[in-house]
Amino acid sequence: MSNRGGAPAGPKDLRHTLRRFIAYLGHARWQLLAVAVLVCAAGGANLAGTYMIKPVVDAVGAGDWTRFAHLVALTAAIYATGVVASVGYTQTMVRAAQRVVSDIRRDLLGHIETLPLSWFDRTRNGDVMSYFTNDVDTISEALNNGFANMVQAAVQTVGTIVLLVALDWRLTLITLACDAIIVLYARFSGRRSKRLFSQQQRTLGALDGYVEEMIAGQKVVKVFGHEAENLKGFKALNEALRTSGTGAQAYASTMVPVTVAISYTNYAVVAVVGASLAIAGHMSVGSLASYLVFVRQAAMPINQLTQLGNFMLTALAGAERVFSVMEEPAEVDEGTITLERVDAAGDAKDDERHRMAAGAAGWQWRREDGSTVPLAGDVRFGNVTFGYEEGQTVLANLTLFAKPGQKIAFVGSTGAGKTTITNLINRFYDVRGGEITYDGLDVRDIKKSSLRSSLGIVLQDTHLFRGSIADNIRFGRLNATDEEVRHAARVANADSFISRLPQGYDTLVTADGANLSQGQRQLIAIARAAVSNPPVLILDEATSSVDTRTEALIARGMDALMRGRTVFVIAHRLSTVRNANAIMVLEHGRIVERGTHDELLAQHGEYWQLWTGARELE
């Protein structure tokens, strides 16, 4: 795997990441503006309330109790305003943060769905899930705890410095010197912890991917008794996460105690110097009392900023991972030819997927210039060369054709290129040499959505979605009626077992069909293809997971489904392909034999050896 979904050692382009992050903040600009205003009000109330210590103490010193009472009431009103503003911005911030995170998740999934299959080939499912959980959660946490606190810390820092200067500029020089030391240490610690936080996110993604794979493959793990080995691998990844997490937190956790130690020293020095100035009559006792409280509070916004640094470092590492996925090039579709339905009078309809009355009947291809070509299901490969990676050849100068209504079968050992042929027909990948035509049209000129809507596919590895059995069958054509769903199930011979279930077609499918047998899942997948009723059908080991009796039942149903359609069949069981119009025997990406079942047996070649058991498919 070339990509484990891990974060780089540090942001490759910090400005770019911040620009994208800020762009998403713009989605909730008015809410964030309200948060900023309310935070400023709360911070200002806190500063004003602290400054009120000066006139209150001076009023006590002067013995003016009336003024003292008025000032205390004013101070209470100021703090009450701050409390109301604090409640307002926290509630608003929660809503704004959730909106931003929701938009990021939406755009992330929307973009991932546009990525080519090659990206999924090199990216583990656990890593993909880590983008939606760990990385997006760190962004959410940073928003909830970062934006408002950052504005508040900025307001309090600037306001505190202004008021400290207003109270006594001489003492402020001491405070600024101590604050400068804190800022320098924060930068020193932040540079080192940033790399470690990114490494922590990378190792966390690797650990999540490992756990996801092991949990998904528990049956295999238990069958081969690899629990101890798996635990050993987990321990190694867990130790790497512990090491990176400890290093990141070790640097980050020193920031607060160092800040507190420096602020205590600053407080002691200012108290001594300030007392001397008050005794000498250079400042009032009220000013000194207010100043000392401000000095104690001066370290608080800096502490907040250092803690926010931890949040933002983690968030930037997660944001970069998310944005890097969102910047992966989407699947290219340069096709312009579309598929459209025509009624009996020949009038064009929309190109949505509808049930075809008889295979390709009622459909046509429309070129960009307005000319049309009837959809028949004629598929041809002309000197096709392909490899999944540079320098690798899976198919070499492959030439074959399937006329409308023909059943073409592919047999051969694992890795011979059988599945690759079907992947190229539906343009999961594009050929590197030669061409594939569909009704005389180069498939690269056909829009992928139109091309794929004309194909029905049943894969060896079935995938069912959470929902009812009817919903899973209807996934082949979302506007299928209940009767059409049942008809498709009858064609696939799935209706009998579905009807015996307690809730029938409303039975809930859970955990990718874990409550169904492998054969039942395969029957539902076949029914899903049947309900789409396509002109071209691709069966990739479609009956590999069912027993011989069930296979016979499916074969009878599939005969009705395949009638009038072009069908490509990949099978290890040669009995399922003996009635094919043409059988292609592949080895190392080349067709070594082709012909009907009887013709190939008469040649006494590769197929004859496979049929008689002289050689087995690997």
Of the listed ranges 12-16, 263-267, 506-510, 523-527, the one predicted with least confidence: 12-16
Does 352 have pLDDT greater than 60?
no
Percentage with pLDDT > 70 across the chain: 86
Rounded CA-CA distance 378/237 in Å is: 52
* pLDDT tens sequence across 159-216: 888 887 888 888 888 888 887 887 777 777 766 676 677 777 778 878 887 887 787 7
Judged against a pLDDT cut of 70, whether residue 237 lies above it is answered with: yes
Q: What's the confidence (pLDDT) of residue 614?
A: 56
Q: How far apart are the first and last CA of the chain?
A: 25
pLDDT at 223: 60
Residue with tokens 């999961």: 428
**Percent over 90 (pLDDT), the chain:** 13
Residue 396: helix, strand or coil by DSSP?
strand
User: How far apart, in whole angstroms, are the C-alpha atoms of residue 521 and residue 510?
Assistant: 11
* 3 state DSSP class of 88: helix
Residue 348: pLDDT above 60?
A: no
d(CA 253, CA 278): 38
**Is residue 356 predicted with pLDDT exceeding 50?**
no
pLDDT band at 336 (very low <50, low <70, confident <90, very high): very high
pLDDT at 332 over 80: yes
pLDDT of residue 134: 82
**Mean pLDDT of all residues in 576-604:** 88
Residue 523, number of CB atoms within 10 A of its CB = 30
| Token pair for 21 | 């992050």
Q: Give me the pLDDT at residue 477, please.
A: 85
539: β partners = 458, 569
Counting Cα atoms < 13 Å in the Cβ hemisphere of 44 gives: 9
Residue 4 has pLDDT above 60, yes or no: no
**Alpha carbon of 48 to those of 53, 77, 345: distances in Å?**
9, 11, 81
| 27, pLDDT greater than 90 | no
User: Region 299-328: what's the mean pLDDT?
Assistant: 76
CA distances from 557 to 253, 495, 523 (A): 67, 11, 11
Q: Give 477's DSSP letter.
A: S
pLDDT of res. 438: 93
Q: Average of pLDDT values for 507-517? A: 80
Of the candidates 394, 378, 392, the one whose C-alpha atom is nearest the C-alpha of residue 436 is 378
For residue 402, pLDDT over 80 is answered with yes
User: Residue 384 is which amino acid?
Assistant: V
Nearest to 244 by CA among 201, 208, 307: 201
**How do beta strands 566-570 and 536-540 pair?**
parallel
Q: What is the pLDDT of residue 542?
A: 67
Q: Across the strands, what pairs with 410?
A: 570, 584
Q: How does pLDDT run across 524-566, given as a tens digit for each residue?
A: 888 888 888 788 888 887 666 666 776 676 666 667 667 777 8
Whether 486 and 505 have beta carbons less than 8 Å apart is answered as yes
Task: Pick the range with the lowest mean pLDDT from 52-66, 68-82, 100-114.
Answer: 52-66
Alpha carbons within 13 A on the beta-carbon side of 199: 18
Question: H-type helices in 113-254, by residue range?
Answer: 117-121, 125-130, 136-142, 148-167, 169-216, 218-224, 227-253
For residue 344, what pLDDT is reported? 47
What's the pLDDT at 445?
93
Distance CA 144, CA 98 (A): 9
Q: Which pLDDT score is estimated for 473?
A: 92
Res 511: pLDDT: 67
User: Which pLDDT score, from 0 to 100, does residue 469 have?
Assistant: 92
Pairing mode of beta strands 536-540, 455-458: parallel
**Mean of pLDDT values over 221-225:** 68
pLDDT at 443 over 90: yes
What's the CA gap between 328 and 361, in Å, rounded?
39
The dihedrals phi and psi of 537, each to the nearest 5 degrees, come to -120, 135
Q: In the prediction, which pLDDT does 345 show?
A: 47
Confidence of residue 3 (pLDDT cuts 50, 70, 90): very low
In this prediction, residues 114-143 reach a mean pLDDT of 83
Contacts of 294 (CB under 8 A, 6+ apart): 50, 51, 160, 163, 164, 167
> Angle formed by the axes of helices 255-279 and 227-253, to 10°?
20
Distance CA 155, CA 162 (A): 11
pLDDT at residue 384, as a whole number: 93
| Contact criterion met (CB below 8 Å) for 166 and 160 | no
Averaged pLDDT for residues 265-274: 83
What's the pLDDT at 359? 44
Whole-number Å distance between alpha carbons of 393 and 391: 7
Written as one letter, the residue type at 541 is E
Q: Is the pLDDT of residue 401 over 70?
A: yes
pLDDT of residue 1: 35
Task: Return all residues near 269 (Cβ < 8 A) that are at least 6 apart.
Answer: 174
